[in-house]
């Protein structure tokens, strides 16, 4: 656009009009008088009209200059109002924080974490949205999500992904399933029906276990009749379908599911991660920054895996 102006240029014109003197205006703006004069000349040349009569003392505005400066002042007021609105919105606590996560994590947050956050910051509200991740090469997040919790980090996203907890896993089944398919070695799972998670279902090795005796990771390729996009559904299927399912131990505690038994051999363990995903702090409203810091602290103190 030919006649577009920087805020600094509009402020320069306004200050010269205020003081009617280049020296005083330059001192107020903390710039050299020659630079201020050059800025005014640049604006006038861009418009093609004079703003100030330089041959008078004190400096006087031209007819065009008087009307132009009137509009400048209104424009600067609007710009200040806009900046104030943006800053106040960013600093405000009086709005809801949208938390998106798989249902199991939402249940844990609702029971153990968010009541403590509300106790610390009662003015902050929350919207909890179920969001199960199914991508095979890294998760995606919803556009309206302020904070997203996931079991895997996002890829190709300009977001912060903070690993906030390591979660112990086990392979669960009912006693009936275990009687039908006894487990004495972790390779047995490759021969038995297993429930797979959608984001790993197409990978050739979709269970990663750790052999404590041999101090090495073991990858298993499992198969079965079911693929799910969240752990809660998988655990319900493990109850009813004679399948094995690898899931976080914390969810078993939350579900109060005594009929589901851990089946990993004693020399084997499995571990996953929980990530909290949000925008970089430069673009983070204050209320979201407050919540992420509180949740990080509470999970660090409280998240027993």
The whole-angstrom separation of Cα 292 and Cα 289 is: 5
Q: What is the pTM of this model?
A: 0.63
Orientation angle between helical segments 33-47 and 7-19, nearest 10 degrees = 110
- pLDDT, residue 133, reads 63
- pLDDT, residue 137, reads 44
- For the chain of 305 residues, list the mean pLDDT of each consecutive stretch of 10: 82 94 93 94 93 86 94 91 72 79 88 93 91 59 86 73 87 96 94 83 68 88 89 92 92 85 93 86 80 87 46
Q: For 21, phi and psi rounded to 5 degrees?
A: -155, 125
Q: Report the sign of the C-alpha dihedral through residues 80, 143, 131, 201, in that order.
A: negative
- pLDDT, residue 39, reads 95
The whole-angstrom separation of Cα 264 and Cα 249 is: 12
- pLDDT, residue 285, reads 82
Per residue, what are the HEC states of 148-183? EEECCCECCCCCEEEEEEEEEEEEEECHHHHHHCCC
Q: Are 36 and 2 in contact (CB under 8 A)?
A: no
Residues 6+ apart with CB under 8 A from 303: 164, 165, 250, 274
- pLDDT, residue 203, reads 52
């Amino acid at each position: 656009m030919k006649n577009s102006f920087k805020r600094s240029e509009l402020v320069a014109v306004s200050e010269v009009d205020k003081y009617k003197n280049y020296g005083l205006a330059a001192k107020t703006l903390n710039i050299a008088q020659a630079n201020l004069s050059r800025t005014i000349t640049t604006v006038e040349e861009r418009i093609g009209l004079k703003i100030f009569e330089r041959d008078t003392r004190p400096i006087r505005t031209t007819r065009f200059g008087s009307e132009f400066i009137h509009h400048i002042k209104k424009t600067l007021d609007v710009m200040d109002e806009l900046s104030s609105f943006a800053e106040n919105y960013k600093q405000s606590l009086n709005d809801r924080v949208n938390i998106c996560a798989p249902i199991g994590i939402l249940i844990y947050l609702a029971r153990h974490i968010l009541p403590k956050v509300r106790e610390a910051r009662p003015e902050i509200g929350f919207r909890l949205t179920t969001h199960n991740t199914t991508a095979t090469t890294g998760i995606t997040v919803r556009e309206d999500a302020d904070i997203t919790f996931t079991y895997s980090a996002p890829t190709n996203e300009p977001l912060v992904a903070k690993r906030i907890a390591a979660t112990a896993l086990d392979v669960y089944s009912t006693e009936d399933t275990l009687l039908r398919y006894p487990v004495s070695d972790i390779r047995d799972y490759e021969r038995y029906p297993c429930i797979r998670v959608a984001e790993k279902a197409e990978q050739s090795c979709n269970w990663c276990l750790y052999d404590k005796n041999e101090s090495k990771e073991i990858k298993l390729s499992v198969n079965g009749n079911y693929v799910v996009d969240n752990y809660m559904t998988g655990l319900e299927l493990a109850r009813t379908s004679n399948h094995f399912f690898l899931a976080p131990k914390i969810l078993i505690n939350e579900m109060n599911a005594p009929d589901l038994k851990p089946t990993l051999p004693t020399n084997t363990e499995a571990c996953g991660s929980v990530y909290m995903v949000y925008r970089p702090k430069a673009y983070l409203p204050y209320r979201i920054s407050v919540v992420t810091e509180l949740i990080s602290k509470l999970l660090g103190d409280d998240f027993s895996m």
